[in-house]
Amino acid sequence: FNLRSFAERTAMNSPIQGSAADILKMAMIELDREMRERKFKANLLLQVHDELIFEVPQDELESLQSLVEEVMENAVSLKVPLRADSNVGDNWFEAK
């Protein structure tokens, strides 16, 4: 294990990972605003790395899924597109 290599990788990854975290937080703020405005009953339960876990009533599933993808893909304006995927399941394991 080379300490110098580790330090170089860490120095390169930190700004990228920090920026990704900032983008996700911006998306979460916008999602909260939109969900309140649209009076969704769904709840954001958990954030794990770059994933958001929601509990969603069946009648809101399709509209919330579209909203989450749209907000996450447009949280910031970049020269490259951001892509957001979503999965649905009765529990986190099934949704993966």
DSSP string, 46-60: EEETTEEEEE--GGG
Cα–Cα distance for residue pair 68/5, rounded to 1 Å: 38
For residue 67, the SS3 value is helix
The per-residue pLDDT for range 25-69, each reduced to its tens digit, is 999 999 999 999 999 999 999 999 889 999 999 999 999 999 999
- This prediction has a pTM of 0.79
For the chain, the structural domain boundaries read: 3-95
The per-residue pLDDT for range 47-57, each reduced to its tens digit, is 998 899 999 99
DSSP count for the chain of H helices, then E strands: 3, 2
DSSP code, position 39: T
CATH of 3-95 among 3.40.50.970, 3.40.50.150, 3.30.70.370, 1.20.1440.230: 3.30.70.370
